[in-house]
Amino acid sequence: MDKIYVNQMEFWGYHGLFPEENKLGQRFYVDLELELDLKPAADSDDMTKSIDYGAIYEVTKKTVEGKHYKLVETVAEKLAHELFGEFPLLQGCLVKVYKPDPPIPGHYKSVAIEIYRRRET
């Protein structure tokens, strides 16, 4: 399957278990790997047979910066659902959400979750 990658999109969200996270917010990064057949778009040079990268960004921004969730897992699941709803050509998606500054002790670059979903038929 062909893929579109959109990496390291940065957003400000209010997700987390602690009141401070919901009040102050924090950075989130998102990587997407979107599966679809790109041959019709390539053969015709027609954008309507692919998925617009800007539209991908806007759906991701709306999801991550919109409603507040306790779990990053929920953010990823909601994003996958929104992507399938918005883009009928999308067949599968890998969603990775990074939380670089979670309120947990230790030294690390980030914590992240990754989910893979396929379109239900």
Domain residue extents for the chain = 2-118
Residue range 109-119: mean pLDDT, rounded: 96
Tell me the pLDDT band of 87, cut-offs 50, 70 and 90: very high
Query: Residue 97 above 80 pLDDT?
Result: yes
pLDDT in tens, 21-78: 999 999 999 999 999 999 999 999 999 999 999 999 999 999 999 999 999 999 999 9
Could you tell me the pLDDT band of residue 121, with boundaries at 50, 70 and 90? confident
CA gap 15, 68 in Å, rounded:
5
C-alpha distances out from residue 117 to 23, 34, 80, 110, Å: 31, 10, 7, 23
Catalytic residues: 99
Please tell me whether residue 23 adopts helix, strand or coil conformation.
helix
- The CA distance from 72 to 84, in Å, is 19
pLDDT reported for residue 5:
98
- pLDDT, residue 28, reads 98
**Choices 3.30.1130.10, 3.40.50.2000, 3.40.1010.10, 3.40.50.300: CATH for 2-118:** 3.30.1130.10
